Amino acid sequence: MIVEITYENYEEIILKSERPVVLGFYSNFDGSSTHLPPYLKDLAQEYAKEIVTAIVNIDNDIEIALDNNVKIVPSVLFFKDGKVVERKVGIFTRGSYKDIINSLILNLKDEGLKGKERNR
C-alpha cells in the first residue's frame, strides 16, 4: 500500500517511522513523473513488511517538496531514522530503486545482529 503524504501526516509517517521510507514526489502536470506512482505501488507490494512506501503530489503539497529540497519531479527520497540517506532525481528503473531498498534492509539486519551481539 502506498501512503498519500500531506503536510498534516508527513512528520508522523515519514520522520517518525521505525522502518525505512521510500518517498516519491510527482506532479500530474509532468508526463515523465506520472510513471512514478505505478513503480512505487509495485515496490510497496513487494516490500510491504520491510519499508513504508509513500508519495507526494506536489500539485497539492508543494511545501513538503520545498522542505526536502525537491526541485525536479520525479524524485524519490529514501529515509532511515527520519533522515534522507539517498536521493534519486529523474526516471530510473525499478531495479535501481530495489538496489537502494535492499541495501537499507540489509543495513537494518546488520544493525540488528550487532545489537544482539552487544546484548549477550
pLDDT exceeds cutoff 60 at 43: yes
DSSP conformation letters of 31-90? GGGGGHHHHHHHHHHHTTTT-EEEEEETTT-HHHHHHTT--SSSEEEEEETTEEEEEEES
Name the nearest CA neighbour of 84 among 10, 3, 21. 21
Mean pLDDT of the chain: 89
Place of cell 539486519: 109
Give the model confidence (pLDDT) of 2-26 as tens digits.
999 999 999 999 999 999 999 999 9
The answer to whether the CB of 80 falls within 8 A of the CB of 104 is yes
Buried residues in 83-94 as b, exposed as e (16+ CB within 10 A): eeebebeeeeee
pLDDT exceeds cutoff 80 at 109: no
The answer to whether the CB of 74 falls within 8 A of the CB of 35 is yes
Place of cell 520525479: 74
- What's the CA gap between 26 and 36, in Å, rounded? 7
Residue-range domains of the chain with CATH: 2-118 (3.40.30.10)
pLDDT at 111: 66
pLDDT at 84: 97
